[in-house]
Structures are given as C-alpha cells and as structure tokens.
Amino acid sequence: MIRLLVDEESFDKTMTTRLIESRAFLFKDLEQVKTDQRGFVFHHDYETDVREIRKHLDALKLVIEYFGGKV
C-alpha cells in the first residue's frame, strides 16, 4: 500500500482538472448521441438519455465551480 499526502490546494486542482476532462468527454458523448454517431449513454430512449446527460453535465459544472474551476 502506498500513502500519498497532498496539500488541499493541489488536491482541488487535480480534482478540478479531472472533472473538467470528464465533463468534456460527456459533452462529446452528448453530441455523438444527438448526431446518431454512437449508442446511448444512460438510457435506451433518446429523449431520456439526452435529458440525463444534460443533468450530469449540469451537476459536473456545479462541482467544478465549487472547486474553483471554470467551465
């Protein structure tokens, strides 16, 4: 087992960066679902899937902003 001590500022920056990346991937998924270039992400119903993806995008934005990131 490895233990890593990270100061709060570094942790927040790392988490924010990772959340921004995750949001970008999910936004790309949304665009692909909307243009029928891929299958569904959360649901097999188009409308429900798009709504759910947008809900997750909004939630990620809120968390990113909480940690001081910009979307």
pTM for the model: 0.82
Q: What is the pLDDT along the chain (71 residues), one digit of tens a residue?
A: 999 899 998 988 999 999 999 999 999 999 999 998 778 899 899 999 999 999 999 999 999 999 888 88
Cα–chain center distance at 23: 3
Please report how many Cα atoms fall inside a 13 Å half-sphere around the Cα of residue 19, on the Cβ side: 22
- What is the three-state SS of 2-65? CCCCCCHHHHHHHHHHHHHHHHHHHHHHHHHHHCCCCCCCCCCCHHHHHHHHHHHHHHHHHHHH
Unique residue bearing structure tokens 């921004």: 20
